[in-house]
Amino acid sequence: MRLAQLHSNPGEERRQTPRYRPEIILSASIGRHEAIVADLSIAGARVYHFAAVRRGEAVRFTMRFGERVFSSMARVLASSVQALGSGPGGALTYKSRLQFIDVDPKEQATLAALLVHLQEQYSRASATSAS
């Protein structure tokens, strides 16, 4: 019963910041391994990647967008196998939720600028599809 109440009460949403799903492929890395950003917020990201990470582990997250580079340590909040043998060379594909930690102010500004760009892109795409 409590679970149903949580889902029906948007005021108790656990996310503190909005997430944006990029319309383009955003490449990233977790440590030395490739990743693809599924969604992104000022506080963290959800990524697909091809090397295992453990919940609670701190990893270096790096993302490139044009000439901008965002890099920060991130805590793995959750990680699970999403597909068998679909990664490079038949590797497993994982989906993980990351929370950025100890973000440098310069890196925070880079991430904020990227999010503004993604939000503008999303707004334009929504307006185009509505007409």
Q: Tell me, what DSSP letter sits at residue 50?
A: S
Read off the pLDDT of each residue in 22-34 and give the average, rounded to a whole number.
83
Q: Does 16 have pLDDT greater than 80?
A: no
Q: Does 10 have pLDDT greater than 50?
A: no
Q: Kindly indicate the confidence band of residue 131, based on its pLDDT and cuts at 50, 70 and 90.
A: low
For 99, other C-beta atoms within 10 Å of its C-beta total 15
CATH architecture of 14-126: Beta Barrel (2.40)
Tens of pLDDT, residue by residue over 51-93, are 889 999 999 999 987 778 899 999 999 988 876 766 656 677 8
Mean predicted lDDT score pLDDT of the chain: 77
Q: What is the torsion angle, in degrees rounded to the nearest 10, for the CA atoms of residue 76, residue 81, residue 83 and residue 87?
A: 50
Q: Does 20 have pLDDT greater than 70?
A: no
CA distances to 6, 13, 36, 85, 89 from 39, in Å: 23, 17, 9, 23, 25
Strand ranges in 9-109 using DSSP code E only, listed in sequence order: 26-30, 33-40, 44-49, 58-65, 68-83, 93-101
Q: Does 7 have pLDDT greater than 50?
A: no
Contact 94, 53 (CB under 8 A): yes
For 90, other C-beta atoms within 10 Å of its C-beta total 9
What is residue 115's predicted lDDT score, i.e. its pLDDT? Answer: 84
Q: Kindly indicate the confidence band of residue 4, based on its pLDDT and cuts at 50, 70 and 90.
A: very low
Q: Does 6 have pLDDT greater than 50?
A: no
Say how far apart CA 61 and CA 118 lie, in whole Å.
19
What is residue 97's predicted lDDT score, i.e. its pLDDT? Answer: 94
Contact 30, 97 (CB under 8 A): no
The pTM for the full model equals 0.74
Q: Where are the domains of the chain?
A: 14-126
